[in-house]
Structure 1
Amino acid sequence: MDLSGWHGIRKTLGPGIIMAAAAIGVSHLVQSTRAGAEYGFALVWAVLLANLFKYPFLEFGPRYALATGQNMIRGYAKLGKAALWVFVLFTLLTMFAIHAAVTIVTGSLASNLTGIDLPVIAWSGIVLIVCVLLLIQNRFSFFDSLIKALMVIFALSTIIAVVAAFSITGYQAEPGFIPPDIWTVSGVAFLIALMGWMPIPIDAAAWHSIWTVEKMKLTGYKPKLSEVRFDFNLGYIGAALIALFFLALGALIMYGSGESYASSAAAFSNQFLNLYTLALGDWSGIVIVICAFTTMFSTTLTVTDTYPRVLTHILNVLKPQTETSNNRIYRILLPLISAGSFLFLVLLGDQFRLLIDLATTLSFLTAPVLAYMNHKLIHHPDIPDEFRPKPWLSRLSIFGILFLTLFAFIYIYWTVLI
């Protein structure tokens, strides 16, 4: 690629990394590690298929933003009021559960990182306050730069942990260990929860379209489609690989050890870090805790920023006169949504596994509808031909809708009808 090409990529790079920061959180640190810990490498196929079949629907987000100069929320309105209200309803149904789930994991890890013994709910509140203070000025450039820095720290620490695990430990279970069967009610429920956020909910296509529009406004540069896709693929493929890294860590260190995943966030955090240091040595403790906390803080920061931004754009569509007050609306919604998520945590308590499985399952069950909406939107007559997906991507999109629908019915069959 010539220098002018790299110049364009440099101006475009950012939204894909923000998406990766949002993705590499509970789905990776908790669910992927738990998949490896409980089933070894048996669920690699689920991670790969979830990433493959969600790819088109998430790629359509930045593609739509580049093609139209607008975010997908406005696109849903073009599909009709029903499509817009489906997105609004799904956002409101999952918003507090998703935000609370990522925050409570971050809070539990903050306690380990600092050594300050506070209840995990208190730490969750502190994490939310820090995120709100960092974001209150609504400066996308600062948010963009901070996430990039956090992701560099995270990537380096993760690579160190994975290399150490492969070189020091072996993939073997304790004598007499009986591998669990995934095709049970509890197994299928976990499988759906694993794929629900793998690598990220399909709602994130609309989030990504907002970040892409913001990036174009910030730089004053309209990128080529190839540059936008490079940014997206960098974040998406990176997130998929890191999911496999965490599954491998769980399989190499926890599988067949007789340990079961903790049901509270505080216990999970201690268990997670202790098992790694026992397997890799005390030297790894600081690497693991930095890796884990950086992962979850970047996710929490991204989600804390995203929902006020999404709701602001929903208001813009429903009431166009609000567009002149976007900064003020964002600054009002930012603490309000964070307070709502904190209240959600207080009411639910430290029901760690319940909270995460609830949030991830809701995301998966809503995925087929959102996938169909994204497919229909990117093939809308208003989309110029040069921005339409290639035939292979359109076909993958159709297969993705069938895949997501099939597993939604499998979940309903195993958990409701049996």
Structure 2
Amino acid sequence: MTAPRTASTLRAAIGPGLLMAGAAVGVSHLVQSTRAGAEYGLALAVLVVIGCVLKFPFLEYGPRYAAATGESLVAGYRRMGRWALGLFALITVSTMFIVSAAVTLVTAGLTGLLFGLDLSPTALSALVLTACTALLVFGHYRALDRIMKIIMAGLALITLTAVVLALGAVADGAGFERLAASLTDDRLRTGATLGFVLALLGWMPIPLDAAAWHSLWTVERARQTGHRPSLREAAVDFHIGYAGATLLALAFLLLGALTMYGTGSEFAGGAVAFAGQFVDLYARSLGDWSRPLIAAAALATMLSTTLTVIDAFPRVLRALIEQAAATGDARERPDPARHRALYLSGLALIVAGALGVIALFGAQFTSLIDFITTVSFLAAPVVAWLNLRLLTGRWTPEHARPGPALRGLSWAGLLFLVAFSLIWMGWRLAG
């Protein structure tokens, strides 16, 4: 009887990790990973892996804390002190509109391309955001959870199929020699490459503040199912999502390298033009028959990201407001009506803010992407330190605190993030 009950509770816990993966597999993968492969071949693949490994503990701390305490990281920050809550709020507010705009722009461009809609980027973005908002308002968390499981399964299948086809298309000595030569590309030593690497790692596989998103989804999943996950169940859910996000990052980099590296093409600055160029370059190498496959994979990627990001920021804003108003040692037991109203208000704010950014800066698409991913990387050491301090301190039950290996990896990751940020600052000041 124990095994079925264990399997049942594990199924109840699975979900937040796939939402995290859906949020991750977006701009960082389709745009930045593909650009990395297209412009530098396989040279940056090791950095992608390093970034994913060194960010692992800080993102894992989200579901770990939620499973151990039954509350989100946002509540944990308040327990550390209102200074910590305020610091995380500052990071969130300073990035939420631009992040939402960036992921929506890519989705809008792919939507217009796939369905042949001759509309402006702002109008296409409004359509995408309206559809996402309707799903979240009327479907609630349950609909988001179900649709993301379908999207992520389809996305993985389509992307891996495209990689296999691309490998077949360059299965000759010259093609692999070209990729091998990318490992010693002279451009790797330039300042422009350093700037791009920082932008690449900023969202690889996802910004660190997504740990708070994951913890909120874990709490919501527990409320929905009536089952609070154990530490093991939360870890399994996280590992599935994180491994998938990491493998897909490498898949998109490999696709970019196999189909675009050495062609001399440069990416367009606008979202719609970028989407068309993205599909055209793949189809040119794989054949026109592959166009629907690539377009479907790309749109599924960005739709998953947009849905989860547009859901995550209102949840974070709501949690910040509720925790700022909380007193004493009160747990997260909000009034249901006010809880829902805060989410809807946050959702309306995020949609309006994202559309405003798109209307003002949508034409500078790739510059916007590089800017926000760089900001995310520079904020990463702060979020990493907050998460490490919370999970190793008295606010986390002793049995749930990270062991020596995970703690060691955390310190290595923190040093990496700080060192890379200082190198970038020095480069910018010297320039």
Report the TM-score range of the alignment, normalised by the length of the smaller protein: over 0.9
CA distance in structure 2 between the aligned counterparts of 1:417 and 1:71, rounded to whole angstroms: 41
Residue number in structure 2 paired with 1:384: 397
1:76-155 to structure 2, matched below 5 A, reads: 76-137=77-138, 139-155=140-156
Distance in 2 (alpha carbons) for counterparts of 1:28 and 1:42: 16
Q: Amino acid of the residue matched to residue 42 of structure 2? A: F
Question: Which residue is equivalent to 2:233?
Answer: 227
Q: Which deviates further from its counterpart, 320-329 or 100-109?
A: 320-329
Contact 1:38 1:180 in 2 (8 A): no
AA aligned opposite 1:58: L
Q: Quick one: distance in 2 between partners of 1:91 and 1:224?
A: 28
Determine the structure 2 residue equivalent to 1:62.
63
Which position in structure 2 is the counterpart of 1:331? 344
Give the Cα–Cα distance (whole angstroms) in 2 for the partners of residues 394 and 408 of structure 1: 21
**Number of equivalent positions:** 417
**Structure 2 CA distance, aligned partners of 1:223 and 1:319?**
27
* Alpha-carbon distance in structure 1 between the residues aligned to 2:51 and 2:378: 13
Q: Which residue of 1 aligns with 2:426?
A: 413
Q: Report the residue type matching 1:99 in the other structure.
A: S
Matched, 1:349 2:350: no
Instruction: Give the superposition deviation at 1:138.
Output: 6.3
- TM-score, normalization by structure 2: 0.94
Name the counterpart of 2:330.
Answer: none
TM (norm. structure 1) is 0.96
- Amino acid of the structure 1 residue aligned with 2:114: L
Give 1:215's aligned residue: 221
Query: What is the letter of the counterpart of residue 65 of structure 2?
Result: Y
In the alignment, what sits opposite 1:72? Answer: 73
1:242-391 residue pairs with structure 2 within 5 A? 242-320=248-326, 323-324=334-335, 325-391=338-404
Deviation at 1:320, TM superposition (A): 3.5
1:238 — aligned with what?
Answer: 244
Q: Give the whole-Å Cα distance in 2 for the aligned partners of 1:192 and 1:272.
A: 22
Indicate how the Cα distance of structure 1 residues 31 and 180 shifts in structure 2: closer, same or farther if over 3 A, else same: farther
CA distance in 1 between counterparts of 2:186 and 2:316 reads 40
1:253-292 Cα offsets, whole Å, 9 max, x none, are: 1001111122211221111100111111111111101100
* Partner amino acid, structure 2, of 1:186: A
Indicate conservation of the 8 Å contact 1:24/1:299, yes or no.
yes
Call closer, same or farther: CA 1:149–1:197 in 2, change over 3 Å: same
Runs of 5+ consecutive residues of structure 1 not aligned to the other structure: none
Q: 2:409 aligns with which of 396, 400, 414?
A: 396
The structural deviation recorded for 1:133 is 1.0
The one-letter amino acid of 1:263's match is: G
- CA 1:335–1:382: 2 relative to 1, 3 Å: closer
Measured in 1, the distance between the counterparts of 2:411 and 2:423 equals 19
Q: Distance in 2 between matches of 1:290 and 1:49?
A: 29
CA contact (8 A) 2:279 2:295 kept: yes
Q: Gaps spanning 5+ residues in structure 2: where? A: 328-332
- Give the distance between the partners of 2:94 and 2:251, measured in 1 at CA: 31
Q: Is the 8 A contact 2:105 2:271 kept in 1?
A: yes
Question: 1:137 touches 1:331 (CA, 8 Å); kept in 2?
Answer: no
Name the amino acid aligned to 2:381.
P
Q: Secondary structure at the match of 2:193?
A: helix
CA distance in 2, matches of 1:288, 1:171: 22
Matches of 2:204 and 2:369, distance apart in 1: 13
Q: Secondary structure at the match of 2:206?
A: coil
Task: Give 3-state SS (helix, strand or coil) of 1:182's partner.
Answer: helix
**2:164 equivalent to 1:158:** no
Aligned counterpart, 2:39: 38
1:172, 1:259 → 2: CA distance?
19
Structure 1 residues 237 and 312, CA, compared in 2 at 3 Å: closer, same or farther? Answer: same
- Inter-CA distance 345–372: structure 2 relative to 1 (3 Å threshold): same
Whether the 8 Å contact between 1:138 and 1:327 is mirrored in structure 2 is no
For residues 410 and 8 of structure 1, the distance between their equivalents in structure 2, rounded to whole angstroms, comes to: 46
Work out the CA distance in 2 between the residues paired with 1:279 and 1:172: 17
Shift of 1:137: 3.3
Corresponding residue number in structure 2 for 1:185: 191
> How many Å separate the matches in 2 of 1:180 and 1:295?
32
CA RMSD, 1 decimal: 1.8
What secondary structure sits across from 2:238 in the alignment? helix
Percentage of matched positions with identical amino acids: 46
Tell me if structure 1 keeps the 8 A contact 2:80–2:395: no
2:76–2:390 Cα contact (<8 Å) kept: yes
